[in-house]
Amino acid sequence: MYALVDCNNFYASCERVFNPKMEGKPVVVLSNNDGCVIARSNEAKEMGVPMGAPAFEYEKMFEQNNVQVFSSNYALYGDLSDRVMKVLSRFTPNIEMYSIDEAFLDLSNFPYHDLEKYCANIRRTVIQETGIPVSIGAAATKTLAKVANRYAKKRKREIGVHILNLQEEINHALTATDIEDVWGVGGQYAKLLKGTGIRTAFEFTLLQEEWVRKNIHVTGLKTLLELRGVPCYSLEQVPPAKQGICTSRSFGTLVTDYTTLQESVATFASRCSEKLRKQHSVAAMLQVFVHTNPFREQDPQYFNSKSVILSTPTNVSYDMAKAAITGLKMIYRKGYNYKKTGVMVTGITPEQSVQLSMFEHPKFAKNKSVMQSVDRINKIMGRDKVRLTAMGFDRTWKLRQEKKSPCYTTRWSDLLTIQV
DNA sequence: TCTGGGGTCCTAGGACCC
DNA sequence: TCTGGGGTCCTAGGACCC
């Protein structure tokens, strides 16, 4: 049996932990740049705020209904996520941290008649020790555990736990699940399936395997089998090494000049290098992209990207920033309002197994110790305390974040004070 | 009239997830 | 005026190899 533990309305719940006045009130959290709604409390959902809603369209509605609005605070969410995962790890050694707010637990070794109690205990402990409410669904496959979790969240809100074990119960839950709510079925396939008369997860399980294989490919077939109780996905306790790493941002204001774009691109390249060093790997290729704002239809639009091959795979900030700037120079065009740039690195391999370039003088040891020192200083003194000049110092392109809550758990100056 | 067979690697595009 | 960011997998097609 797999259990899926999913934090309820995670970002919204995080905002409430240190601000209990918001209990029972509508809360929404916005994406970077305060752009879209990416998390909603139940109250906000019930008021009809859709996922992904542009914040500016709902500004009045938020005001009229006293909705608490927050910019996203990833330092806070990341830290609370770690705490939740730590609590879960006490209940089983076999855990897969699937996303910032979800974990699969392998409960195969637990006697089946205790499962409901055991899950209820997990749920109680998490909320008591972290303040984050969770829902738990358990079943024989991951996809069915997802179904069970959704069922627990929607129909058993008070209990918050649902176990799918008997075929009768499974069929009932599958019938109550719309096809577009199945894990692995997105908008496009849901449309296709509805076109052929399939509306629920249960109806989907009755389809022929060949048809699914042909029209929704092997991923669809795996979903079908998982819903029938045949496990196709196992627990991934050790996250596989990343194949690509990307850092990109939309700008708070539109950018037209080359220098500012270059500063942003150098910053993102440096950030990618940090991420690579953190996982002890190097990248062989770097891609830089720029684009204008597609929502401003009156503006001339420009999307472009350029790949740069790194002669020797690297994770050294200045090498990568240099490559990114080389690429940017090739695609920069005057006369556009740029909205977003980004840097992506691929061809990722372990640091220890780098193939040296035939024509380059090996200066690995030196670069490595410089980077290690920079990382160490920045860890103690704060991000970008030591930085590349190319990154600039003004950050005129920075994010808009007007409603960010304090970093209650990761910054001394933001520590909550209580007056008695 | 006829034109081999069996591969790999890379990229782009489309689907999906949170 | 204002519309996020970071990933995965699969397939098809082209270029290449012997």
**What mean pLDDT do residues A222-247 have?**
94
**What mean pLDDT do residues A229-241 have?**
92
Task: Please give the pLDDT value at position A241.
Answer: 85
> CA A155: distance to chain centroid?
26
Say whether pLDDT at A257 is over 90. yes
A 369-388: CB within 7 Å of strand C: none
Contact A14, A77 (CB under 8 A): yes
Alpha carbons A337 and A292: distance in angstroms, whole number: 6
Q: How many Å apart are A201 CA and C6 C1'? A: 29
The token pair at A117 is 């109690």
Please report which confidence band the pLDDT of residue A293 belongs to, taking 50, 70 and 90 as the band edges: very high
Say whether pLDDT at A113 is over 90. no
Q: How many Å apart are A317 CA and B1 C1'? A: 64
Indicate yes or no: strand B within 7 A of the C-beta of A184.
yes
**What mean pLDDT do residues A141-152 have?**
98
Say whether pLDDT at A88 is over 70. yes
Say whether pLDDT at A101 is over 80. yes
Say whether pLDDT at A289 is over 70. yes
Indicate yes or no: strand C within 7 A of the C-beta of A236.
no
Indicate yes or no: strand C within 7 A of the C-beta of A398.
no
Task: Please give the pLDDT value at position A147.
Answer: 98
Q: Give the pLDDT confidence of A321-333 residue by residue, as tens digits.
A: 999 999 999 999 9
Please report which confidence band the pLDDT of residue A384 belongs to, taking 50, 70 and 90 as the band edges: very high
Indicate yes or no: strand B within 7 A of the C-beta of A186.
yes
Alpha carbons A131 and A106: distance in angstroms, whole number: 24
Residue A222: strand, helix, or coil: helix
SS3 content of chain A, % helix, strand, coil (to 5): 45, 20, 35
The token pair at A99 is 């996303």
Indicate yes or no: strand B within 7 A of the C-beta of A159.
no
Say whether pLDDT at A93 is over 70. yes
> CA A391: distance to chain centroid?
26
Half-sphere exposure of A29 (CA within 13 A, CB side): 21
Give me the percent of chain A exceeding a pLDDT of 70. 97
Say whether pLDDT at A358 is over 70. no
Alpha carbons A19 and A273: distance in angstroms, whole number: 36
Say whether pLDDT at A112 is over 70. no
H-helix segments, A18-69: 42-46, 55-64
- Provide the residue type at A140 as one letter: A
Task: Please give the pLDDT value at position A154.
Answer: 92
Q: How many Å apart are A188 CA and B14 C1'? A: 10
Indicate yes or no: strand B within 7 A of the C-beta of A338.
no
A2-162 and A245-391: identical CATH topology: no
Q: Give the pLDDT confidence of A171-211 residue by residue, as tens digits.
A: 999 999 999 999 999 999 999 999 999 999 999 999 999 99
Task: Please give the pLDDT value at position A50.
Answer: 94
Q: How many Å apart are A252 CA and C18 C1'? A: 55
Q: Please report, for chain A, the start and end positions of each structural domain, with discontinuous segments joined by +.
A: 2-162, 245-391
Please report which confidence band the pLDDT of residue A310 belongs to, taking 50, 70 and 90 as the band edges: confident
Alpha carbons A417 and A144: distance in angstroms, whole number: 44
Half-sphere exposure of A350 (CA within 13 A, CB side): 3
**What mean pLDDT do residues A254-275 have?**
95
Pairing type for strands A27-30 and A68-71 reads parallel
Task: Please give the pLDDT value at position A145.
Answer: 98
Protein residue minimizing CA–C1' distance to C2: A56
Q: Which nucleotide, over all strands, has the C1' atom closest to the CA of A250?
A: C4
Q: How many Å apart are A410 CA and B11 C1'? A: 42
Task: Please give the pLDDT value at position A359.
Answer: 65
Q: Convert A262-320 into a string of H (helix), E (strand) and C (coil).
A: HHHHHHHHHHHHHHHHHCCEEEEEEEEEEEECCCCCCCCCCEEEEEEEEEEEECCHHHH
Q: Strand pairing partners for A135?
A: A6
Task: Please give the pLDDT value at position A225.
Answer: 96
Alpha carbons A236 and A222: distance in angstroms, whole number: 17
Indicate yes or no: strand B within 7 A of the C-beta of A188.
yes
Sign, CA torsion A12/A18/A24/A26: negative
Please report which confidence band the pLDDT of residue A114 belongs to, taking 50, 70 and 90 as the band edges: confident
Task: Please give the pLDDT value at position A312.
Answer: 85
A116-154 in b/e form (b: 16+ CB < 10 A) is bebbeebbeebbeebbbbbbbbbbbbbbbbbbbbbbbbe
Sign, CA torsion A17/A21/A22/A25: positive
Q: Which long-range contacts (CB under 8 A, 24 or more apart) does A204-207 make?
A: A204/A179, A205/A174
Please report which confidence band the pLDDT of residue A115 belongs to, taking 50, 70 and 90 as the band edges: very high
Say whether pLDDT at A24 is over 90. yes
Helix or strand (DSSP H, E) at A135 = strand A134-139
Radius of gyration of chain A (CA): 24
Say whether pLDDT at A110 is over 80. no
Domain A245-391, CATH 3.30.1490.100 — does that match? yes
Task: Please give the pLDDT value at position A198.
Answer: 96
Indicate yes or no: strand B within 7 A of the C-beta of A11.
no
A34 Ramachandran zone, left/alpha/beta (phi>0; psi -120 to 50) = left
The token pair at A144 is 């069915």
Nucleotides of C under 7 A from a protein CB: 1-11
Task: Please give the pLDDT value at position A244.
Answer: 92
Contact A148, A164 (CB under 8 A): yes
Nucleotides of B under 7 A from a protein CB: 11, 14-18
**What mean pLDDT do residues A69-82 have?**
96
CB atoms inside a 10 Å sphere around CB A34: 19
Q: Does the global pTM surpass 0.75?
A: yes
Q: Which nucleotide, over all strands, has the C1' atom closest to the CA of A184?
A: B16
Q: How many Å apart are A108 CA and B10 C1'? A: 42
* Domain spanning A2-162, CATH architecture: 2-Layer Sandwich (3.30)
Mean pLDDT over all residues of chain A? 93
The token pair at A135 is 């829902």
CB atoms inside a 10 Å sphere around CB A111: 8
Q: How many Å apart are A314 CA and C15 C1'? A: 28
Task: Please give the pLDDT value at position A210.
Answer: 92
Task: Please give the pLDDT value at position A224.
Answer: 97
